[in-house]
Amino acid sequence: MPRTEQGVLIPGQISPQRPVPLHIKRPEYVGKPSPAQHVGGDRYDDETIAAIRKASKIAAQGLEVVLSAAKPGITTDELDRIGHEFLLSQNAYPSTLGYRGFPKSLCSSLNEVICHGIPDDTIIREGDILNIDISAFIDGVHGDTNGSIVVGDGSQEALDLVTRTKEAMLRGIRAALPGREVNIIGRAIESYAKRFDYGVVRDFTGHGVGTSFHSGLIIPHYDAPEYNTVIEPGMVFTVEPMLTLGTHDWDLWEDGWTVTTKDKSLTAQFEHTILITEDGPEILTEA
């Protein structure tokens, strides 16, 4: 089992890449070292929004399916299989699979892993914080979501961190009103997190999503006035704060993906894809 005696995670064994039937359309970046540059901005017409809504709903349902299967004793690789097969059953392609060489169909991040954990033979234990990040590509667009749970019975501090991270995300979303700058989102998140002395991860952000998996638009989760893009109706992007019980500083594993808290403190994350309407934000990634 790939953990140290102190319970700190170490890389496990990664299984071979799972196949995708040829009839399921791949994103343009599959098989390439990096995606094509995004064009067209972050506002979409009604037809494209309808497609993003469909992809987002599939992603949300996939997240629900995978998290419901998470029990002590299961491996993160098995959860990847479950998510992979669900997406294929909806004729959707797993957006992470082959994105900049990522080898799996979802990200699975446990305990001190902030984000981008690669599913492997790590066995989930009672009380672990588990985050699953799953995205669906269908009809030329992506929907992106993630969520955290405490598996089985966990500590009160772990349960509180998960509950409050979700609330931080929702506060950030509610702040995303037309005419405001995107930095209002991070200000709302950080002001809430500070009440509990949580770290707010800075270097991994929300992003524009739609015809590209990541459009280049940055949505900070902390108070960052320099990010001053004005929020407009028709925009689609993610809000996905990562909060920690300690520092916001991080380490990167040799796999080039797995990001952990530098002090190995617990962390949690939640993410929704949202659409900005004339009346405010609409969450698209709800099952």
3-state SS assignment for residue 251: strand
Q: What is the 3-state secondary structure (H, E, C) of 170-205?
A: HHHHHCCCCCCECHHHHHHHHHHHHCCCCEECCCCC
Tell me how far apart the alpha carbons of residues 232 and 8 are, in angstroms, rounded to a whole number: 43
* 116-165 tens-digit pLDDT: 999 999 999 999 999 999 999 999 999 999 999 999 999 999 999 999 99
3-state SS assignment for residue 46: helix
The 10 Å Cβ neighbour count of residue 95 is 29
Q: What is the pLDDT of residue 269?
A: 98
* 249-268 tens-digit pLDDT: 999 999 999 999 999 999 99
Name 180's Cβ contacts closer than 8 Å, sequence gap at least 6. Answer: 230, 231
Q: Quick one: CA torsion of 102, 137, 80, 208, rounded to 10 degrees?
A: 60
Q: Would you say residue 246 has pLDDT above 60?
A: yes
Question: What proportion of the chain, given as a percentage, has pLDDT over 70?
Answer: 100
* 101-127 tens-digit pLDDT: 999 999 999 999 999 999 999 999 999
Strand partners, 108: 132
Strand partners, 282: 275
In the structure encoding, which two tokens stand for residue 189, read together? Answer: 């998140």
In the structure encoding, which two tokens stand for residue 21, read together? Answer: 């039937």
* 4-36 tens-digit pLDDT: 877 899 999 999 999 999 999 999 999 999 999
Q: What is the pLDDT of residue 1?
A: 57
Tell me how far apart the alpha carbons of residues 265 and 245 are, in angstroms, rounded to a whole number: 6
Calculate mean pLDDT across residues 207-234. Answer: 98
- End-to-end Cα spacing for the chain: 33
Tell me how far apart the alpha carbons of residues 73 and 210 are, in angstroms, rounded to a whole number: 36
Pairing of strands 272-277, 250-252: unpaired
Which helix (H) or strand (E) segment holds residue 110: the answer is strand 107-110
| Phi, psi (degrees; rounded to nearest 5) at 187 | -65, -40
